[in-house]
Amino acid sequence: MSENWLQEAIDRQRVGLSARLALPLARIAERCAGIRGINPGVLDRLLADSIGALSPCHLLYIISPTGVLLSANVSPDHVDVTVRGQNLSNRPYLVSSVPDTGFLLSDVYVSRVTARPCVTAVHAVTKTGQGIIGYLAADFALRDLPLLAEPDVRTAGARQIKGDPSIRATVFNQRRTDSDMDRSMPEVIAIMDELLGERGVFHAKLNFSSSRATLWLTDDPYRYRVHVLQEIVDPAVCFAYPQQPYSDKAIVSRDSIGAVFDRLALLRTLDDTIYLRSGSLNIINGMVGLTFSCDGSYYLPTDEFLAKDECYWLGA
């Protein structure tokens, strides 16, 4: 998967939204340009008549080339004339210059009015022989916008994330102590293999020091289950999770589950200073998550995780 998958997903949404807004904004801007002089009252009525064509726009207004608010703030159910004359030149959407097409979609920012993420679509208002005489701006709350592109479900690539600097600074003053889970790893691995492979668990996380396991189920993914060691090493725990076929959404092979947890157990004991604190496996997105004693975290695809030998982790 591309390292830029997040930006690619954002760009797809922006392209879809721009295509939807550019033409109706251009039509309203053309009508504004036809008004003789700067007539705030006429501008306000025009915007109030036009905002319905930009649904779900929650605010429509006109700004001068220097960033001064020329119109009222027009919402679908209110016209606020008290804001005329405000200087909006420092707004995020006015920092970038409007391109030759006359249309600009701002980056996402937090609205000062609603305190929620929003975007502003801006279209230049131009008159022949005068150039740009103002800007038409339309605010949209992200929560109101439709999904204009399918969400990205590709598996993410490997990531390494640094943790708390205060923990990293003292990491060489600590030493791993065997936990109850460390002393019961063969039983834990066997139960994890059964739960993920045969009992509908798609994501499992082991916290080695506190000897607990957290489980997520394919048929109830919004609620997780937490088990202490005494529960997770008792084979009878499997009775609490009815047997079901291995998920057809899984991209981790059934035979790899035990190998992943074997490798997690190895990383727990490979070094007494830089050791694994917690590890997880998600068979649906295929990712292994690792958090070490230095508070650094790794997220990497299962096949990549299994391909790395002890030398890699000791070197890292």
185-212 tens-digit pLDDT: 999 999 999 999 999 999 999 999 899 9
Average pLDDT over residues 147-160: 64
What CATH number should be reported for the domain whose range is 5-144? 3.30.450.20
CA 168 vs CA 3, 45, 312: distances in Å: 26, 61, 20
* 212-217 vs 287-292, strand pairing mode: unpaired
Q: Residue 288: pLDDT above 90? A: yes
Q: Are 242 and 199 in contact (CB under 8 A)?
A: yes
Phi-psi region of 102 (alpha: psi -120 to 50; beta: other; left: phi over 0): left
Residue 208 burial by Cβ neighbours in a 10 Å radius (0-12, 13-18, 19+): buried
Q: What's the rounded Cα separation, in Å, for the pair 213 and 204? A: 7
Where would I find the H helices in 34-140?
Answer: 40-50, 92-95
- Strand, coil or helix: 309: coil
At 160 the pLDDT is 75
How much is the pLDDT for 35? 81
pLDDT tens digits along 50-102 = 999 998 999 999 998 888 999 999 999 999 999 899 998 887 777 666 666 78
Give the tens place of pLDDT for each residue, 214-251.
Answer: 999 999 999 999 999 999 999 999 999 999 999 999 99
User: What pLDDT, on a 0 to 100 scale, did the predictor assign at position 66?
Assistant: 86
- CA–CA separation, 186 and 282 (whole Å): 20
Secondary structure (3-state) at 4? coil
Q: Is 21 exposed, middle or buried (0-12, 13-18, 19+ CB in 10 A)?
A: buried
112-145 pLDDT, tens digit each: 777 889 999 999 998 888 888 889 999 999 888 8
Alpha carbon dihedral 3, 6, 7, 8, in 10-degree steps, equals 90
Domains of the chain, residue spans: 5-144, 159-315
- Name the DSSP letter for residue 161: E
| DSSP letters spanning 249-298 | T--S-TTHHHHHHHHHHHHHHS-SSS-EEEEEEETTTTEEEEEETTS-EE
The pLDDT of residue 3 is above 70: no
Confidence at residue 95, expressed as pLDDT on a 0 to 100 scale: 60
Q: What pTM does this model have?
A: 0.70
